[in-house]
Structure 1
């Protein structure tokens, strides 16, 4: 979950500069769909919000405020759309999509995935995906909606903080990045259709990020990298430095 303090200390990386370059094109173009992927703990949202702030993009941040984790994919879809219509004061979906075109981009990130961290009585999309095996059907509903309102979507830019999470034991995995062979195939297919930016770091970049937040010996960081990989947030949590990526 991205909070203002996440961006107070920020280390520019090769991945971030690539993302910033991709988002910079959104001001003067429409019809772009961008998927930002990355294994849990790499700070996808922090990179996204940082780039948006630096570029001064006008973004509509979509929310997913579920009251019940047993909701069907259709109920999740309708809840999200109704919230958009309400905030934009639109009478129907077509009007809502047209009004969204006034923004540089429509963003599906923390307020969509992790709204439960903002409001105690609600559930975010990430919570729902961990409880439901019907996530693929939700994505099919989104694809159907795109083709149904294709003319309206041509005038929108959409940024997805793309995650399909699985929890095995105490550790979270993402099917687009963490599962051998399957992740490679899925991310390649995704990249054939959309613009995909993967948030990932080299060990050197990871060490630099950790040291920007904590005074800790480099050798100690390297030991944690061997255990958790180049996931700054996870390493910082273990070192007692909070959850900043």
Structure 2
């Protein structure tokens, strides 16, 4: 089965310009002339956070630093992952200290922490990304994010010269089903997002039924609207899950 996930700027030929996309596009466009923005892009799994991000970047002329993180061992501790993350940045940017990292990335319009960091197993099947490590370690992964938040507080002054955009999800598994703490738990999710909104700018990816129908039919033009709406009743307005269900049922995605 095909992976319906955008992994690079070149994978978004069938993209539909939704209200959520326009929010992200306007945000990215403003980064040329502003510094010090820290944006979290959230959304229920299957809504296409990376598709929106990379499609906006494909249109705009931005100098973006989009680092990759490869983890060798799923059982790495939070401290080990934290050290590996900054070691990767130092090597990639050609600097020796963490302080130099902040000065170097200030040269870019934005730092993007997205697919290449979160889902790098799609780039190298022998490695793991941060999302898979987090999912595998569950609550034991939280100290890593606490360390990252402390680093943010420690270097808020340095970050005033840097724009950071993060594709964000806190995934957990319950009875074999993946859920995102930021979007899938009603009141609890609202509390999490409210707290995070005190420190960061948050953009949530979501679609209306009409937008979801358009997205699906743009990729599967032979599927009738009634069938798409039936999928929406089952999977919600989550295009990636609908794509996978349609392909599994024998419906082919249109050729590029």
Give the structure 2 partner of residue 2 of structure 1. Answer: 6
Specify every segment of 5 or more residues in structure 2 that has no aligned partner in the other structure, as ranges: none
TM-score in terms of structure 1 length? 0.94
**Is 1:153–2:165 an aligned residue pair?**
no
**Is 1:227–2:240 an aligned residue pair?**
no
Structure 1 counterpart SS, 2:202: strand
CA distance in 2, matches of 1:155, 1:89: 19
**1:155-204 Cα deviation digits (max 9, x unpaired):** 11100101111123443211000112111111122223211110000000
1:198-217 matches, within 5 Å, as 198-214=204-220, 215-217=222-224
CA distance in 2, matches of 1:203, 1:119: 35
Give the structure 1 partner of residue 243 of structure 2. Answer: 236
Structure 1 counterpart SS, 2:127: coil
**Is 1:85–2:94 an aligned residue pair?**
no
1:64 Cα deviation (Å)?
A: 2.0
Could you tell which deviates more after superposition, 128-137 or 208-217? 128-137
Moved over 6 A (4+): none
1:19-168 matches, within 5 Å, as 19-132=24-137, 133-168=139-174
TM-score in terms of structure 2 length? 0.90
1:6 Cα deviation (Å)?
A: 3.7
